[in-house]
């Protein structure tokens, strides 16, 4: 039986600190004989402003955080699922991406978040992710992993079943939704967490697959 390690931590705007935390989580997962470790959405950083976000985001070919994660995956011979920010071709925006790395440190899958989070509620925060993030326009094919054939999504994509259905039709056995919440959205959804459990269960039942969120 192959084991997975699903992790949680609170990323900050300090990329170096977040890197150390994630590398340590990868090491711990490998020491517990996990074949794959799941890190959250936005593991590289959570910025406090759009200007800071644009400064911290980087292209994949020079992404210091991601390069360190790749080295850790190779060193500890473990697969990694992780969410990071990527520089966008669209001015003043970034891409929110989900990367899967194999146990050789190679990137085998890249998915760019399709559905942008937006909320304007009387009892909650006002957030519009589309103001800072370029939506993806492609479904990334499922990839073979030690845990099974895995389909990639991110957080708010969970609310839109079409991608899950298409991934299942392409052979996905596991659906992954790395997720992250800001202090405002976290405080709000912490009071309404039941709907998240229902959504994850619904995706699993609808598609007869396992759903994972980190």
Q: Could you list the active site residues? A: 41, 113, 155
Q: Are strands 174-176 and 107-112 parallel, antiparallel or unpaired?
A: unpaired
d(CA 142, CA 121): 35
Report whether 151 contacts 162 (CB < 8 A).
Answer: no
Distances in Å between the alpha carbon of 136 and those of 97, 139, 154, 191? 9, 8, 11, 30
Report whether 3 contacts 34 (CB < 8 A).
Answer: yes
DSSP 81-95: EEEEEEE-SSTT-EE
Surface-to-core class of residue 209, CB atoms within 10 Å of its CB (0-12 exposed, 13-18 middle, 19+ buried): buried
d(CA 141, CA 92): 29
């Amino acid at each position: 039986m192959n084991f997975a390690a699903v992790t949680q931590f609170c990323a900050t705007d300090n990329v170096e600190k977040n890197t150390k935390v994630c590398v340590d989580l990868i090491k711990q997962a490998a020491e517990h004989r996990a074949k794959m470790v799941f890190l959250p959405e936005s593991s590289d950083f959570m910025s406090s402003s759009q200007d800071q976000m644009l400064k911290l985001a980087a292209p994949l070919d020079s992404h210091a955080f991601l390069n360190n994660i790749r080295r850790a995956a190779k060193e500890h011979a473990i697969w990694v699922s992780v969410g990071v920010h990527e520089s966008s071709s669209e001015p003043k925006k970034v891409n929110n991406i989900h990367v899967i790395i194999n146990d050789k440190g190679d990137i085998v899958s890249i998915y760019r978040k399709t559905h942008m989070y937006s909320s304007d509620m009387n009892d909650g925060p006002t957030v519009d992710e589309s103001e800072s993030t370029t939506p993806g326009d492609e479904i990334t094919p499922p990839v073979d992993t030690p845990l099974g054939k895995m389909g990639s999504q991110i957080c708010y994509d969970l609310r839109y079943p079409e991608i899950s259905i298409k991934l299942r039709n392409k052979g996905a056995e596991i659906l992954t939704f790395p997720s992250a919440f800001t202090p405002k959205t976290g405080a709000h959804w912490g009071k309404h967490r039941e709907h998240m459990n229902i959504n994850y269960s619904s995706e699993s039942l609808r598609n007869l697959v396992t759903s994972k969120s980190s």
